[in-house]
Amino acid sequence: MPNAAESPLATYIAHLKRGELGYQFSPSARQVVFYPRVIAPRTGAADLEWRVSAGLATVHATTVVHPQQGPKYNVCLVDVDEGFRMMSRVEDIEPTSVKIGMRVKFRVHTPEGDEDPYPVFTPVEGA
């Protein structure tokens, strides 16, 4: 379809490629929207605008995954200060040391090859 607007996922990934954590906001609903989508949940409003997070968050929940092969790693839910929750992981720390309530900051993880970048978090020093 020529002249079609870029998909919300493509815009989100473009933000990540620039080192930004993009999210959407619906002015009519006065509501933060994450994961990116075409219309706002609950209201169906199509007035979503893109914003960029400052990248600070708090760990809401965490668990450690022990795969059969490879090192263990954590999976967590983080509450981003701008008002949305997302699933990610905390790096640069032993997986069992990630604690609920820990302050973390956003960082882009860029895998090798042609995979898209994705958001991860690291501990905030001194928090």
Q: Judge whether 99 lies within some domain.
A: yes
What secondary structure, in 3-state letters, does the chain show?
A: CCCCCCCHHHHHHHHHHCCCCEEEEECCCCEEECCCCCCCCCCCCCCCEEEECCCEEEEEEEEEECCCCCCCEEEEEEEECCCEEEEECECCCCHHHCCCCCEEEEEEECCCCCCCCEEEEEECCCC
Residue range 78-104: mean pLDDT, rounded: 96
Q: Judge whether 58 lies within some domain.
A: yes
- pLDDT (tens digit per residue) in 9-57: 999 999 999 999 999 999 988 899 999 999 988 888 889 999 999 999 9
Q: What is the CATH number of the domain that holds 24?
A: 2.40.50.840
**Structural domains counted in the chain:** 1
Domain region containing 29:
8-123
Q: Judge whether 31 lies within some domain.
A: yes
Residue 2 has pLDDT above 70, yes or no: no
Q: Judge whether 42 lies within some domain.
A: yes
- pLDDT (tens digit per residue) in 50-83: 999 999 999 999 999 999 999 999 999 999 999 9
